[in-house]
Amino acid sequence: MLVRLGAIVLLALTAPTAPALAQPSGEAIYAEDCASCHRTPGRVMRRFLEKPAAEREAALDRFLAEHHAPDQARRRSLVAWLLASARR
Ligand code: HEC
């Protein structure tokens, strides 16, 4: 009885996080694919932050497609995180 209750609680707890596991966060992707060469994104983002806001996302996406982020879905998460964290 207790074990079954435990299983139900576990299911309820893990279900909402399943999509997040399928698609890692931009921050996790940065740590995995970028941080070995750029410890933090601050300096490398400078050139992109100088661009008008409307051009930033496309320019960064184009650059990263040729620079260590070939997968479109991962790149999309990464670009969103980079732009959001650089504004802080
Ligand atoms: C193997 C090392 C390496 C990896 C991995 C790497 N980069 Fe770079 N990156 C460089 C080098 C070298 C440059 C050119 C010199 C510089 O600006 O630091 C560069 C340049 C850049 C620039 C342009 C800076 C500018 O002012 O033109 C950006 C943005 C950037 N990297 C982001 C990333 C992101 C995001 C990732 C992860 C997907 C990544 N890099 C992975 C080595 C790397």
**Nearest Cα residue to atom 22 of ligand 1:** 44
Which atom in ligand 1 lies closest to the alpha carbon of residue 33? 37
What percentage of the chain has pLDDT greater than the value 90? 66
Mutating to test ligand 1, I would choose from 67, 79, 82, 83 the residue with most ligand atoms within 8 A of its C-beta, which is: 67
Instruction: Give pLDDT tens digits for 20-52.
Output: 457 799 999 999 999 999 999 998 999 999 999
- The DSSP code sequence of the chain is -HHHHHHHHHHHHHGGGHHHHHS--HHHHHHHHTTTT-SSSHHHHHHHHTS-HHHHHHHHHHHHHTTT---HHHHHHHHHHHHHHHH-
Protein residues with CB under 6 Å of any ligand 1 atom: 33-34, 36-38, 44, 47, 64, 67-69, 78
pLDDT at 35: 97
pLDDT at 41: 93
The residue type at 46: R
What's the token pair of residue 12? 């309820």
Q: How far apart are CA 33 and CA 44, in angstroms?
A: 14
What percentage of the chain has pLDDT greater than the value 70? 73
